[in-house]
Structure 1
């Protein structure tokens, strides 16, 4: 994966972890039962990160991500899963 892209993805993960109050508010507005559901909030974060990954590929690389880049993105998420969940 391009170093600039990888750095940006890691920055977006840090941003997502620090912005959990927004995710909590979203979860509460969707369904009060989901407000405490970590899997729902984790899904929101993963969705945000996937969107950022795709957008950053288009912005930095001027193209859609390759299958290999997507696999690397998934690997980054897998490595940082516990860190993300701990901060929810």
Structure 2
């Protein structure tokens, strides 16, 4: 993954963790059979959106399969921290 994209995604992960209160408020207002899954989906969606658009903005193209796998590895390594922030 391009270092600029990595930096943008890492920043978005930190932002998602920092905005856990916003996600919890959305979770509170939208009924769901699994509120924890809804909150996690919102956070991961925000991060994926950043990866997708930052790759296009910085590199001027879609991510390659290898870059997407690297994104998933980075996201996976941060999942415990994201989950803790959403509790």
List runs of 5+ in structure 1 lacking aligned partners. Answer: none
What TM-score, normalized to structure 1? 0.90
User: Which residue of structure 1 aligns with residue 68 of structure 2?
Assistant: 70
**CA deviation after TM superposition for structure 1 residue 39, in Å:** 2.2
**CA deviation after TM superposition for structure 1 residue 43, in Å:** 1.1
Equivalenced residues, count: 86
**CA deviation after TM superposition for structure 1 residue 29, in Å:** 1.6
Q: How does 1:1-88 map to 2 (within 5 A)?
A: 1-31=1-31, 34=34, 37-88=35-86
Q: Runs (4+) of structure 1 moved beyond 4 Å?
A: none
Q: Distance between the aligned counterparts of 1:29 and 1:38, measured in 2?
A: 13
What TM-score, normalized to structure 2? 0.91
